[in-house]
Homo-oligomer: A and B are copies of this chain.
Amino acid sequence: MLSSTPRTTLGREKQRASTDRDDLYEVLDTGLVCHLGVVVNGHPMVVPTGYGRIGETLYLHGSTGATSLRTGDGGEVCVTVTHLDGIVLARSVFHHSVNYRSAVVYGRARLVTDPDERMEGLRALSEQLAPGQWDYVRRPSRKELAATAVLALSLEEASVKIRRGGPKDEEEDYDLPVWAGVLPLVTAWGEPEPDPMLPEGIGAPVHILHRE
């Protein structure tokens, strides 16, 4: 079960909150970027960035020069991952909605200093964005590692919201001569585009060609 702190207990639309841990993992594991919120000089700042998960820990990274931005005032962060699945077209403007799955994680980001955990965190980040690449391309050099800050965030305080299905209209609106339903939003991988600098004879490997 997900934790239920004041921040993650939804005040509104409770029926859309899921307390299934598997839903949380599914939403996180199928995402590509998160939106990271920090407080900088008392103001909110939201930036898109990559992430990876190992068990109950989310890993984020950045250049060492940008660490202050990433941890903000006091290290409190909010990480949100959203999948938009479709537009819910109702019989009235008011009941329009979206089908989506989103995860929100709150906590204090911890700067990872242990070399093994840093490497595992970077591998998780890399595999989230581009599965199979960690074992295929050149691994980080010592210099590259030194330039990279790895942050860890516990999934202890997390919530998931999911909306599926068609519109819920007002009783009297069902008689309107108006089409209603869902317009699905579909995301897919296109054809790999080779780097012009690539020598002849190097084809894209299966993990790129047939990425799910």
A interface vs B, CB < 8 Å? 7, 11-12, 32-33, 35-40, 42-48, 50, 63, 65-66, 69, 72, 74, 76-80, 82, 84, 86-87, 89-94, 96, 98, 100, 102, 104, 106, 122, 126, 129-130, 133-134, 136-141, 144, 148, 166-167, 169, 173-174, 176-198, 202-205, 208, 211
Contact = CB atoms under 8 A, between A and B. Distances in A.
A33 B69 CA distance: 24
Given A80-B48, A180-B197, A184-B189, A173 B138 contact: yes
Contact of A138 (B84, B178, B179): B178
Contacts of A45: 7, 37, 44, 78, 104, 106
A32 to B, nearest CB: 6
A181 B192 contact: yes
A176 B138 CA distance: 9
Contact of A202 (B76, B137, B179): B179
